[in-house]
Amino acid sequence: MGTSNTFLLEPGNDTMFEDYAALYNAIDSLDNPDHIEISGEYFRSSFSHPSVEIGRDIVLVQNSERVLVAAGTIFSQKTIPPSSRIMVQVHPDFQNRGIGSMVLEHLFQLGIKRGSVFFECRVPSFRFDAISFVEFHGFEHEYSWIKMQLEYDKPVKPRNLPRDLKFRSLDLKRELKIWAELHNEIYKDSTDYSLTTVKSLKAQIKHVNFDPELLIICEVNGKPVGIGSGWSIKSENEGSRKKVLQIQGLGILPNYRRRGYGQALLYEILNRAFRNDYRIAELVVYSTNHAAIGLYTKYKFQERYRHLWYKLII
C-alpha cells in the first residue's frame, strides 16, 4: 500500500487480531484508570459488523521487523450527509514520529473517496496528547459522554417500583424487530443517532461479549415501553477476576418517561447481573442528559472520565 521511512502501511487481514489487541492493550494500559485487557476475539467480533470490511476499513503500520506499531480504522456512517468515524492508534514506543499523522491522512483519503463530508473521532479526557493531536489536525470538540461506574457487593434494593411495569427477556429469534423499533424511537434525538436495523442487531448478538441474559424488555399492559441490554467484560489478565457489566443501552419511550420506569429498569438489569456474578457496572451518558446523570448518581454511580467527541468538516 505504501511506505514512509521504515514503516509499511498495508490493509488489515484475518490474522491480525491478536496483534491488534496487543497494540490496543499497550496503549490503554498506560493511562486508562479502568483498563481491561482485551482479547483478539473481542476485536474479531467487533469488526464483524456488516458495515466493516477488514481489508478495506483497517490499515496496519509495521516497522522493518514486521512488528505492528500503529493502526487506523474507519467506520462509514449512514448519516445525512455521509460521514466517517475514525480511530488512530500508535504504540507508545513509536509516538511523536509522524506515524499518527500518516495514518490519519490515509483515513481521510479513504473517507473522501466514499463521499464523507465530515469525520468524527472519540478521545478519552485523560489522554492529553491525543487531544492536542486531533485539535492540531483541525478537529473541534462537539459533545461528550460521561463514563460512570458502580461497584456493588449486594443486590440493589428497589424503591417504590411501578406496579404496572413488567420485565421479561427478549426473544432473540422472533423479536429483533421490536428491539430495533424501541431503540430507534428512544434514541432518535441523540446527537450521534444512526438507524438500528434487524441486520445490525443480528451482528451485535454474535459479539463475544454479548450476554443474552442481560437483554431485558419492559412492558406496560403488554406494550413494550423500554429496553435494557448489557455486555460482559472480563479482563484477559489472569490477575483480574471481576466481571464487569457494561450497560450498552437503557431507555424508555418518550411518552412513558418520568414515571419511575427507567429507575426500575436499572434495578432489574443490575440485579440480574449480580445474580450472574457481576460486581462492577459501567455505562456512558451524554454530559447534557442531566436527568439520567441525576438518576445514576443517586444510585452511587460515579464519574470516571469523559469521552470527548470531535468533528472535522471537510
Q: Of 104, 138, 172, which residue is a domain's last?
A: 138
Q: What's this model's pTM, rounded to 2 decimal places?
A: 0.89
- Separation CA 54–CA 47 (nearest Å): 7
> Which amino acid would we find at residue 231?
W
Task: Please tell me the number of Cα atoms within 13 Å of 253 on its side-chain side.
Answer: 16
Domain membership flag for residue 29: yes
Residue 164 and residue 293 share a domain: yes
Quick one: cell of 226? 423500554
Look up the CATH number of the domain holding residue 239: 3.40.630.30
Cell 503500520, residue located: 61
Which distant-in-sequence residues (6+ apart) come within 8 Å of 80 by Cβ?
none
In this structure, the answer to whether residues 298 and 170 fall within a common structural domain is yes
Are residues 16 and 130 located together in one domain of the fold? yes
Separation CA 194–CA 143 (nearest Å): 16
Domain termination site, one of 113, 138, 163: 138
Mark which of 95, 116, 138 sits at the end of a domain: 138
In terms of Cα–Cα distance, which of 51, 53, 58, 23 is closest to 37? Answer: 23
Digits of tens for pLDDT over the chain (314 positions)? 544 558 999 999 999 999 999 999 999 999 999 999 999 999 999 888 767 899 999 999 999 899 999 999 999 887 888 999 999 999 999 999 999 999 999 999 999 999 999 999 999 999 999 999 999 999 999 999 999 999 999 988 777 778 899 999 999 999 999 999 999 999 888 776 778 899 889 988 999 899 999 999 999 999 999 999 999 987 655 455 578 999 988 999 999 998 999 999 999 999 999 999 999 999 999 999 998 899 899 889 999 999 999 999 98
Question: DSSP states of 175-209 as a string?
Answer: -HHHHHHHHHHHHTTSTT-----HHHHHHHTTSTT
Could you tell me the residue range of the domain that residue 54 belongs to?
2-138
> Cα 215 to chain center, whole Å?
17
Grid cell in block for residue 42: 473481542
In a domain, 311, yes or no: no
202 and 233 both lie in a single domain:
yes
Q: Would residue 313 count as lying in a domain? A: no
